[in-house]
C-alpha cells in the first residue's frame, strides 16, 4: 500500500457503491481524526519526503493529530536530510503555500507544527553557495540568550557574527537558536492580531487609513525575523543580500520575486518602527515626529502596517527577560501594544496613510528651472527631490511657490553636502 496516509487510501467502488478500505484502518483513523501512514512512516517519507509536509497540511487543515510514530519519523534527521536532497525546492514551496493560503488554511498553526517537528532548517534552506559567505547576527530575545547560556556552544554570545563560526556544527546550532526564537515569536501573533482586529482600540472606521494588513506576509516575516540581520554577498559582486528573503524565501522555497521584495521591505524597516514604539513606551510624554513617521510609511508603502505589527512582536521579545513573571509579561505586551495604538492613531490623525501616493509639487525639470541649474542635472536632482519630499511631509498644506522658495534657500547646503559625499 504505497498511499501516503490511511485516510487517503479509501476508495469508492462505483459498482458496489461501497467504500473500500484496503489499509483496514482508514475509516477508523478518519473517525478518530488522526494522520497515519499505511506502512512505516520512515519508509513512506523515504519514498517521498514531501509527504511529511503533506502530513502537516492535512493535520492543520482538518484539525487532526499526527500519530506518534509519524511524529517521531517527521522529527528524524534522516527525513530532514531527505527533504533537502530528494525534493525540489519548487515542490517544497508549493506545499508550504498550500499551508499558508486556500480554503480552511491555518497558517499560524502550520508554522508552529513545522517548528515542533524541527523542519524549519529543511524548508527555509540557506543554500550551500550562500552559507559560507553569510555574515551578521541573529535577533534573539535576552530571555532566550540567557536560557541558552550554559549549554550554548557559542558561549551564549548571540551578538557573535555568523561568519566567525567556522564549523558546520556551530552554524547549524546557531540557526537552531534562530528557529527557537521564531517559535517564541509566533506565540505572540495571536495577541497582536487580536489587538489589531479589536475595532474599539484602533480607528478602523476612519477613512484616513485604507491600508490593510497582509496576514500571510506578517506570519512569514514574523517566522523569519530572527534572521533579518544575516546578510550575504554573491561572489564577484558588491551587492549585499538579506539571507531571510533572498536565500530562505527565493532559493529555499522558490517563492515569487514579489514575495521576496515584500519580505525584504518589511525586514528593512522593522527596526525603525521598533525604535518609534520603544520611544513612545519609554517617554513620559510620548510624541511622534510627522517627518520621521511619514518617511517611514512612504518607504514601506502598503506594507507599513505589516512592518508595524512585526515591530511590536520584536519589541516584546527583545524587551523580555529571563524569569519574568506572567503578570509582568502580560503588562509588557499590553504596554507595547498601546504604543502601537498611539502610532497607528497618529498616522490616522495626520493623514499619513498612502503618503507615498502624494504627488510632487515640482518635478526634476521644474527644479532645474527654478534653481537656475541650467542643464546640470544628475544625482543632485535626486537629493533635491528628497528635500522636497521632506518639506511636503512637514508642510502638508504648503504650496508650490513655498516649496520652490524653500529649495532655493537650501540649495547651497544641499550642494555642499553633495560635494562632500563625492569627495569621500
pLDDT (tens digit per residue) in 151-176: 443 333 345 677 777 777 888 888 88
Give the pLDDT score at 129: 46
Task: Report how far residue 288's alpha carbon sits from residue 271's, in angstroms, rounded to the nearest whole number.
Answer: 16
What is the pLDDT, as a whole number, of residue 207? 61
Task: Find which of 154-158, 336-340, 377-381 is predicted with most confidence, using mean pLDDT.
Answer: 336-340
Q: How is the chain split into domains, by residue range?
A: 1-105, 124-355, 359-423
Asked if residue 121 has pLDDT above 70, the reply is yes
Decide the pairing of beta strands 18-21 and 34-35. unpaired
Checking phi first, is residue 378 left (phi over 0); if not, alpha (psi -120 to 50) or beta?
left
**337 versus 157: which is more confidently predicted?**
337
Give DSSP secondary structure letters for 27-43. HHHHHHTEE--SS-HHH
Average pLDDT over residues 53-63: 95
User: Residue 251 CA to chain centroid, in angstroms?
Assistant: 16
Percent of the chain with pLDDT over 90: 59
pLDDT in the model for residue 355: 95
- Residue 204's pLDDT is 54
Mind listing the pLDDT tens digit for each residue in 216-267?
A: 999 999 999 999 988 877 767 777 888 889 889 998 999 999 999 999 999 9
Q: To the nearest whole number, what is the mean pLDDT of the chain?
A: 87
User: Of 237-246, 369-378, 404-413, which range is least confident?
Assistant: 369-378
Rounded to whole angstroms, the Cα distance separating 82 from 179 reads 20
Q: In a 3-state reduction of DSSP, which class is residue 88?
A: coil
CATH of domain 1-105: 1.10.110
Q: Is the per-residue pLDDT at 187 higher than 90?
A: yes
CA within 13 Å, CB half, 318: 18
Round to whole Å and give the CA distance between 325 and 25.
47
Nine cell digits for residue 193? 492580531
126-149: per-residue pLDDT in tens?
Answer: 865 445 456 777 787 776 655 444
Sign of the CA dihedral 160, 115, 134, 307?
negative
Which pLDDT belongs to residue 376? 65
What's the mean pLDDT in 336-349?
Answer: 93
Choose between 200 and 312: higher pLDDT.
312
The Cα 28–Cα 11 span in angstroms is: 14
Please tell me the predicted confidence (pLDDT) of residue 133. Answer: 52
Reading the block at residue 85, the C-alpha cell is: 536532497
Q: How far apart are CA 228 and CA 196, in angstroms?
A: 23
Q: Which residue has the higher pLDDT, 201 or 46?
A: 46
Q: Which residue has the higher pLDDT, 155 or 401?
A: 401
Picking from 79-83, 128-132, 184-188, which range would have the lowest pLDDT averaged per residue? 128-132
DSSP 130-177: TGGG-B------HHHHHHTTTT-TTTT-TTS-GGG--SHHHHHHHHHH
3-state helix, strand, coil in the chain (%, to 5): 60, 5, 35
Cα-based distances in Å from 141 to 156, 227, 322, 366:
12, 13, 9, 50
| pLDDT tens string 277-290 | 999 999 888 789 99
Task: Give the whole-angstrom CA distance, residue 151 versus residue 116.
Answer: 20
Does residue 370 carry a pLDDT above 80?
Answer: yes
Amino acid at each position: 500500500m504505497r498511499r501516503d496516509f490511511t485516510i487517503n487510501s479509501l476508495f469508492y467502488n462505483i459498482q458496489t457503491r461501497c467504500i473500500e478500505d484496503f489499509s483496514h484502518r482508514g475509516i477508523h483513523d478518519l473517525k478518530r481524526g488522526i494522520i497515519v501512514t499505511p506502512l512505516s512512516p520512515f519508509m513512506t517519507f523515504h519514498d517521498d519526503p514531501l509527504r511529511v509536509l503533506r502530513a502537516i497540511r492535512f493535520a492543520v487543515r482538518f484539525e487532526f493529530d499526527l500519530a506518534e510514530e509519524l511524529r517521531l519519523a517527521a522529527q528524524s534527521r534522516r527525513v530532514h536530510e531527505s527533504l533537502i536532497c530528494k525534493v525540489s525546492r519548487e515542490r517544497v514551496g508549493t506545499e508550504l503555500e498550500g499551508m499558508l493560503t486556500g480554503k480552511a488554511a491555518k497558517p499560524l498553526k502550520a508554522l508552529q507544527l513545522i517548528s515542533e517537528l524541527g523542519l524549519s532548517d529543511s524548508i527555509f534552506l540557506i543554500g550551500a553557495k550562500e552559507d559560507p559567505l553569510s555574515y551578521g547576527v541573529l535577533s534573539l530575545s535576552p530571555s532566550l540568550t540567557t536560557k541558552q547560556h550554559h549549554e550554548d556552544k557559542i558561549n551564549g554570545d548571540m551578538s557573535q557574527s555568523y561568519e566567525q563560526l567556522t564549523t558546520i556544527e556551530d552554524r547549524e546550532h546557531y540557526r537552531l537558536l534562530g528557529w527557537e526564537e521564531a517559535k517564541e515569536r509566533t506565540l505572540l501573533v495571536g495577541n497582536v492580531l487580536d489587538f489589531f482586529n479589536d475595532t474599539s482600540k484602533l480607528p478602523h472606521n476612519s477613512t484616513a487609513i485604507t491600508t490593510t494588513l497582509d496576514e500571510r506576509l506578517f506570519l512569514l516575516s514574523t517566522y523569519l525575523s530572527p534572521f533579518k540581520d544575516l546578510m550575504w554577498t554573491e561572489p564577484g559582486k558588491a551587492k549585499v543580500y538579506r539571507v531571510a528573503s533572498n536565500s530562505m524565501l527565493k532559493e529555499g522555497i522558490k517563492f515569487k520575486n514579489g514575495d521576496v521584495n515584500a519580505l525584504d521591505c518589511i525586514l528593512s524597516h522593522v527596526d525603525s518602527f521598533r525604535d518609534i514604539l520603544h520611544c513612545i513606551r519609554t517617554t513620559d510624554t510620548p510624541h511622534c515626529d510627522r517627518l520621521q513617521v511619514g518617511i517611514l510609511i512612504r518607504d514601506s508603502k502598503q506594507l507599513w502596517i505589516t512592518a508595524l505589527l512585526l515591530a511590536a512582536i520584536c519589541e516584546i521579545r527583545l524587551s523580555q527577560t529571563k524569569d519574568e513573571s506572567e503578570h509582568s509579561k502580560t503588562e509588557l505586551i499590553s504596554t507595547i501594544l498601546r504604543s502601537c495604538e498611539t502610532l497607528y492613531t497618529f498616522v490616522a490623525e495626520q493623514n499619513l496613510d498612502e503618503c507615498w501616493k502624494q504627488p510632487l509639487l515640482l518635478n526634476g525639470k521644474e527644479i532645474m528651472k527654478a534653481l537656475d541649474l541650467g542643464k546640470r542635472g544628475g544625482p543632485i536632482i535626486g537629493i533635491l527631490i528628497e528635500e522636497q519630499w521632506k518639506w511636503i511631509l512637514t508642510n502638508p498644506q504648503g504650496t508650490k511657490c513655498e516649496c520652490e522658495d524653500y529649495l532655493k534657500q537650501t540649495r547651497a547646503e544641499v550642494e555642499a553636502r553633495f560635494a562632500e559625499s563625492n569627495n569621500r
